[in-house]
């Protein structure tokens, strides 16, 4: 892992939780939970690792890394069919199957410092992520565009920044454990919020601020309670390397 990604993780933790939590690798299992899994395969040409954007591919499929395309064309792709190959439909299908490969490790455009990722375009400092476009400082995530400092996210819309474990969001800034938040900031464990800021454990709200459990507080009261809750979250993460997910809470699958 590039050290810049680890530094970005520590910065994000400090923004959201008031302090660093230690090394990113220690939270990998927690961050990957509920993120669309990628697949790790071996190249049929070289045997190198190939990241593909699904772990559900047909058995017997062959794989190729994008940087092996020239070799593929020299050894496989340019080989012409002969007369026996086109004598009937079954023959054509059999020969075509030999030429068919899934391509992984796809990194395109102005990208750099991309590791163990696939379908990455114009993005930098990316780790164990797939389908990422015009982003930077992202790890353990899937399907993002125009976002930065995202960890453990899935389906992240543009202008999202400093998020940990957020799902289906748009313009989500300084948020943690949120689902379907749109144009929201400084929210924790919230779902289905629009144009909201400074909310915790609140759901189905529009144009609201300073809510905890959908109850309205003054700014002073809210920040006092928030400080205590954030401290509890931070201490739990440092000791257990995980928190119950909002999805776990909704499903009733929360353990001590």
Q: List, for residues 145-161, the tens digit of each pLDDT value.
A: 999 999 999 999 999 99
Q: List, for residues 166-190, the tens digit of each pLDDT value.
A: 999 999 999 999 999 999 999 999 9
Q: Is residue 140 part of a domain?
A: yes
Q: List, for residues 69-92, the tens digit of each pLDDT value.
A: 888 777 766 666 666 666 677 777
Mean pLDDT in residue range 233-251:
89
Select from 63, 81, 104 the last residue of a domain. Answer: 104
Task: Give yes or no: residues 10 and 45 share one domain.
Answer: no
Which single residue is written with the structure tokens 């464990």?
A: 189
Task: Give yes or no: residues 225 and 140 share one domain.
Answer: yes
Select from 59, 82, 104 the last residue of a domain. Answer: 104
Task: Give yes or no: residues 82 and 32 share one domain.
Answer: no
Q: List, for residues 208-235, the tens digit of each pLDDT value.
A: 999 999 999 999 999 999 999 999 999 9
| pTM over 0.85, yes/no | yes
Per-residue confidence (pLDDT) for residue 54, from 0 to 100: 78
Q: List, for residues 8-62, the tens digit of each pLDDT value.
A: 999 999 999 999 999 999 999 999 999 988 888 898 888 999 999 877 777 788 8
Task: Give yes or no: residues 43 and 141 share one domain.
Answer: no
Task: Give yes or no: residues 225 and 132 share one domain.
Answer: yes
Task: Give yes or no: residues 138 and 238 share one domain.
Answer: yes
Number of domains in the chain: 2
Q: Is residue 253 part of a domain?
A: no
Mean pLDDT in residue range 125-131:
96
Per-residue confidence (pLDDT) for residue 20, from 0 to 100: 96
Tell me if 217 sits within 8 A of 229, measured CB to CB.
Answer: no
Q: Is residue 256 part of a domain?
A: no
Task: Give yes or no: residues 84 and 152 share one domain.
Answer: no
Task: Give yes or no: residues 33 and 43 share one domain.
Answer: no
Mean pLDDT in residue range 117-130:
96
Task: Give yes or no: residues 31 and 141 share one domain.
Answer: yes
In terms of residue numbers, what domain contains 67?
A: 39-104
Task: Give yes or no: residues 123 and 150 share one domain.
Answer: yes
Structure confidence at residue 118 as a pLDDT band (50, 70, 90): very high
Task: Give yes or no: residues 185 and 223 share one domain.
Answer: yes
If you count them, how many residues does the chain have? 256
From the list 186, 190, 161, 166, the residue with the least C-alpha distance to 249 is: 190
Q: Which residue has the higher pLDDT, 254 or 169?
A: 169
To the nearest whole number, what is the mean pLDDT of the chain? Answer: 90
Select from 55, 78, 104 the last residue of a domain. Answer: 104
Q: What is the DSSP string of the chain?
A: --HHHHHHHHHHHHHHHSS--S-GGGGHHHHHTTSPPPEEEE-TTT--EEEES-S---TT--EEEGGGHHHHIIIIITPPP-GGGGSSHHHHHHHHHHH--EEE--EESS-EEEES-EEEES-EEEEEEEEEES-EEEEEEEEEESEEEEES-EEE-TTEEEEEEEEEEEEEEEEEEEES-EEEEEEEEEEEEEEEEEEES-EEEES-EEEETTEE--HHHHHHHHHHHHHHHHHHHHHHS----HHHHHHT----
């Amino acid at each position: 892992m590039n050290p810049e990604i680890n530094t970005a993780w520590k910065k994000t933790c400090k923004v959201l939780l008031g302090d660093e939590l230690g090394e990113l690798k220690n939270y990998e299992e927690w961050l990957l939970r509920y993120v669309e899994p990628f697949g790790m395969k071996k190249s049929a040409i070289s045997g190198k690792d190939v990241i593909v954007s699904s772990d559900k591919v047909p058995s017997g499929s062959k794989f190729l890394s994008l940087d092996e395309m020239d070799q593929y064309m020299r050894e496989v792709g340019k080989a012409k069919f002969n007369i026996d190959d086109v004598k009937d439909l079954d023959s054509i299908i059999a020969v075509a199957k030999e030429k068919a490969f899934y391509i992984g490790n796809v990194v395109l455009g102005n990208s750099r410092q991309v590791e163990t990722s696939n379908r990455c375009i114009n993005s930098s400092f990316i780790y164990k992520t797939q389908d990422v476009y015009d982003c930077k400082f992202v790890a353990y995530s899937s399907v993002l565009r125009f976002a930065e400092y995202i960890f453990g996210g899935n389906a992240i819309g543009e202008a999202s920044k400093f998020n940990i474990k957020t799902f289906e969001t748009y313009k989500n800034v300084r948020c943690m454990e949120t689902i379907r938040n749109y144009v929201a900031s400084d929210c924790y464990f919230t779902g289905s919020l629009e144009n909201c800021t400074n909310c915790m454990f609140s759901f189905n709200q529009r144009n609201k601020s300073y809510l905890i459990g959908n109850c309205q507080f003054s700014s002073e009261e809210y920040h006092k309670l928030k400080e205590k809750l954030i401290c509890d979250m931070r201490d739990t993460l440092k000791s257990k390397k995980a928190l119950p997910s909002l999805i776990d809470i909704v499903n009733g699958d929360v353990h001590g």
